[in-house]
Amino acid sequence: MAKAVVLGGGISGLSSAYYALQEGTSSKFAKVVLLEASNRFGGWLHSTKFEDGAVFDYGPRSFRPTYVGSGLNTVELALKLGLRDDIIAVDKRDPSNVRYVYKDKKVHQMPGTILDAIRVVPPLKRRLIWTAYQDTFAAKATEDESVHSFCTRRYGKEIADIMGDAMVHPSITGPMVSMSKPILHYITNWTMWSLKEGCQQLSDTLVKHLTSPQMSAELQLNNKCTKLTFKDGAAVVTSDKGEITTDHVFSSIYARDLAQILPEEHSELAQELKAIPAVSVIVVNLEYPVESPMKGFGHLLPSIEDGPVLGVVYNSCVFPQQDRIQQKGKSSRFTVMLGGAWYDELLERMGGSLNPNGFALFGMKVIAEHLKITEKPSKVDVIIQNDCIPQYFVGHNERVERIFKYIKDNNLPLSLVGSSYKGVSVNDCIYNAKLRVEKFTGPSPYVSPDISKEHFAF
């Protein structure tokens, strides 16, 4: 039976290991070794639960149960891992589904009803019905184009500059996947979901499952892969702790990091990998001893408003189950997201300093100006997520196809998973890992997990 090495212990790497060892596959890997360079598993899934019950997420803070493809697959994974009792879901009728945009120093609710389409809704200056009319006669794209170009061509410059830009400033639906009718029926009313302990609970549970006697995966922390070579149909993985010869490698690390460890004879592949950029984001989590003045998911900012500020999430409105216990008094949690493509501009504003205290004050200023909350926060936590969001510029899909073709044409025992290639969402990362593994193992027989309704928290 084959042996595999997984590079990276984020959700893509953990999912690759899980599916590689999953029972019922036609030719599962006999052994999987996972190497993680840092001192923790989970990657961008990173949460903290405080003693008073409050939860801060530093990366993704919810999952979307899209009714086809990758969204359903993540729900299925959580149920198979025994997380049914810990799922907290948002119903489509909940007010936390309302989205806002911050424009002209005000928070505006984004249009969402038929009435909104036939009237002028600030900050827009045209009726949406006219943009729909324009879309009817829009010319089809003849080549790959940016999201801004797409929105301008289909809906006009105002929609592109305000609504389209705001959404891209911080996905595209995934492929279809077979899923049991009970799960599909049950999540029909969900718009998003998380876990009681935060999103990291998903990766933590995967780690426990992988290291159980049933799977016996070998997971190593603080062990960075420093060199990857190929010889006689096998791969040789050199790391801080030694050398492993393996039948196959699943790499979930950032594309540019993978490029750094490839041998010179595969410089063509390395150059393609290096051409996939990523941006860094500063996440400022704040808790205030007051009720939130807003009901909804949060607000985004178009870059023409204030580049370095990407948006604000109203965490307590979305998942009040993650608030501190009520005996501690009223509270509301917010996340201010900074940087992205405007990371350098943000650093310039901060005088080049990466001092978390400076970012904390910046986040508090955003909350005060946007939401008029001037009280002193009861909790503040700042984390810098370096190269956390790969950027899919025009031509990205073609580049990825060239990368995959190079690997196939050269018969390299290497599979690429992770957010650098075919989707940056958690759903995409998990599902693409599953698809890559199934090229070797074949799909496992579907076993419907328990989805008793009373166990889901709304």
Bridge partners of 288? 332
pLDDT at position 170: 55
Name which of 312, 332, 335, 313 is nearest 324 in CA terms: 332
Side chain identity, residue 267 = S
Domain 62-111+171-197+278-390 bears CATH identifier 3.50.50.60: yes
**pTM more than 0.75:** yes
Residues 231, 279: Cα–Cα separation, whole Å: 34
Ordered DSSP codes for 321-336: GGSPPGGG---EEEEE
Which regions in the chain score pLDDT beneath 70? 1, 23-27, 67-68, 111-186, 444-458
Residues 181, 95: Cα–Cα separation, whole Å: 28
Ordered DSSP codes for 441-457: H-PPPP-PPP--GGGSB
CATH architecture of 3-41+200-276+392-447: 3-Layer(bba) Sandwich (3.50)
- Within a 10 A sphere around the Cβ of 107, how many other Cβ atoms? 18
The pair of structure tokens assigned to 80 is 């198979």
For residue 202, count CB atoms less than 10 angstroms from its CB and return exposed for 0-12, middle for 13-18, buried for 19 or more: buried
pLDDT at position 424: 95
pLDDT at position 428: 96
**Residue 10 DSSP class:** B
pLDDT at position 139: 58
Question: Please, how many CA atoms are within 13 Å of residue 258, restricted to the half-sphere of its CB?
Answer: 30
**Inter-residue contact 248 to 298 (CB < 8 Å):** no
**Residue ranges, CATH 3.50.50.60, the chain:** 3-41+200-276+392-447, 62-111+171-197+278-390
> Distances in Å between the alpha carbon of 23 and those of 29, 30, 167, 183, 446?
10, 11, 40, 21, 11
